[in-house]
Amino acid sequence: STTDELTGLHNRRGLQDFITRTLAMARRHGEEGIVAFLDLNDFKEINDRFGHDTGDIALQKFSEIIQGNLRGSDFVARIGGDEFVFVLTRTNAENGRTRALAILDEVCATSIQARGQEVFLKASMGVAPYNGESSFGELMRTADLAMYEDKKANKKVTHAH
């Protein structure tokens, strides 16, 4: 199966198929784009504090926001518990990064209701540009690494309420 049951998004296998086809097109037509790796911050804490139902709602909301910001040629998959990857096709690195950051901003401006409290979604993101020279494995490693750097930076930043 190439679908994630909870969110209805593609899974890792669906993502690999899409990126493999996209890179073949990029080679043929000189196209470029970006792969963005997103990870919900404090997801375990949401599950622990409010229960798995709330965690599921957070994941569904997260996937809705990403999907709602993509064009028909773009792609999104849930590849792990709270890990998502989206692909913005036919865009240069700069424009792709700008669009990815706008999606991240929208995610972080979104809240869900949990036991009468407003819980804001937070995420870390890593972006890797691709072109016809790129490989699936290398793209995933680069985006994943960038996401972990972002997560480390986010942990250091304390937000005043």
Q: Across the chain, where does the E strand assignment appear?
A: 33-40, 75-78, 83-88, 111-114, 117-120, 123-130
Mean of the pLDDT values across residues 148-158? 80
Q: Which amino acid is at 105?
A: D
Distance between CA atoms of residues 126 and 131, nearest Å = 17
pTM: 0.92
Residue in the block written with tokens 């036991």? 115
Confirm if 127 and 36 have CB atoms less than 8 A apart. yes
The answer to whether residue 161 scores a pLDDT higher than 50 is: no
Which residues have CB under 8 Å from 59's CB, separation 6+?
6, 7, 40, 78, 82
Confirm if 93 and 86 have CB atoms less than 8 A apart. no
Distance between CA atoms of residues 148 and 88, nearest Å = 20
Mean of the pLDDT values across residues 90-118? 95
Q: What is the pLDDT of residue 158?
A: 52
Indicate the pLDDT class of residue 157, thresholds 50, 70 and 90: low
pLDDT digits (tens, 9 = 90+) for 53-70: 999 999 999 999 999 999
The answer to whether residue 102 scores a pLDDT higher than 80 is: yes
